[in-house]
Amino acid sequence: MPGTTDPLTSLNFIFCIIILIMGYWGFRKYEEPLLFYIGMAFGLFGVSHLALISGYPSNLWVLILIRTVAYLLVIFALFQAIRR
């Protein structure tokens, strides 16, 4: 139902956007790609939360794809950090 906001999804969206901004800020300040990857992953999580808030998409597979890519970005960033 478009326009219906779930408080938990809205809170998750806000935190995802904050982490996205901080990841980009940290990347620009320290030139650390891991911060960028994590920020981008949470940006994708934010996109999926925004989709739920706005009532789009009705197709669950789109959300699954977005969140899978986001989780893979976090896994990649952690793998890079451990490998160092």
pLDDT digits (tens, 9 = 90+) for 57-79: 778 899 999 999 999 999 999 99
Quick check: helix, strand or coil at residue 42? helix
Query: Residues 12, 41, 33, CA angle at the centre, nearest 5°?
Result: 135
pLDDT tens column, 16-50: 999 999 999 999 999 999 999 999 999 999 999 99
Q: Average pLDDT in the 11-15 region?
A: 97
Q: Is 59 left (phi over 0), alpha (psi -120 to 50) or beta?
A: beta
